[in-house]
């Protein structure tokens, strides 16, 4: 009888321990709303204007549309681009400098970067403000903290469609 009691107690402790982890559950919608508020505050503080995509919530500003012909047509489109990625703090975490980088297939890029590429054509320039969901989400990625809003300045220098 004692064995069953001990087994029951151990199972109950395991159940309570598992339930206590619910407080650490990632709240994607809550984080998204926080990110959008941060982007709006950033834009207001810097006196910047950006359009918010109604479907995704991504903010963007197109400074050059491009040639109007050569566009990303699928996730298999091969991309070359100039870009700079930074945090809201202004800290640059990645940049191509002045030499375009071969980024491979569009589908291999973070969702927010893919979004940017669909808004411009070859020669086009865009700045996107990405809620963390469209970047790396709750994961840490090298110098990018978890749940970071990302800003990318992108120039699509070449696209090849299969």
Of 3-12, 25-34, 115-124, the range with the lowest mean pLDDT is: 3-12
Report how many domains make up the chain.
1
| Whether pLDDT at 9 is above 70 | no
Tokens of 70: 């050569």
d(CA 89, CA 159): 31
**What length does the chain have?**
162
Tokens of 2: 């004692």
User: Under the phi-then-psi rule, with left for phi > 0, alpha for psi from -120 to 50, and beta for the rest, what region is 123?
Assistant: left
Tell me: the pLDDT tens digits for 30-53? 999 999 999 999 999 999 999 999
pLDDT score of 21: 44
Segments forming the whole domain that contains residue 88: 2-160
d(CA 49, CA 37): 15
Q: What is the CATH number of the domain that holds 105?
A: 3.10.50.40
Query: Stretch 86-106: mean pLDDT, rounded?
Result: 97
d(CA 41, CA 38): 5
Query: Stretch 117-128: mean pLDDT, rounded?
Result: 98
């Amino acid at each position: 009888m004692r064995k069953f009691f001990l087994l029951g107690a151990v199972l109950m402790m395991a159940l309570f321990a598992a339930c206590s982890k619910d407080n650490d559950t990632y709240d994607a919608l809550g984080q998204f709303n926080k990110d959008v508020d941060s982007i709006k505050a950033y834009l207001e503080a810097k006196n910047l204007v950006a359009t918010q995509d109604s479907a995704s919530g991504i903010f963007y500003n197109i400074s050059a549309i491009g040639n109007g012909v050569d566009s990303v047509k699928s996730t298999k489109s091969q991309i070359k681009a100039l870009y700079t990625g930074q945090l809201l703090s202004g800290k640059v975490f990645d940049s191509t400098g002045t030499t375009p980088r071969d980024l491979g297939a569009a589908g291999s890029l973070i969702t927010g970067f893919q979004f940017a590429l669909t808004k411009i054509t070859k020669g086009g320039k865009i700045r996107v403000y990405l809620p963390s969901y469209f970047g790396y989400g709750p994961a840490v990625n090298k110098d990018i903290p978890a749940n970071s809003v990302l800003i990318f300045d992108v120039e699509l220098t070449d696209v090849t469609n299969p």
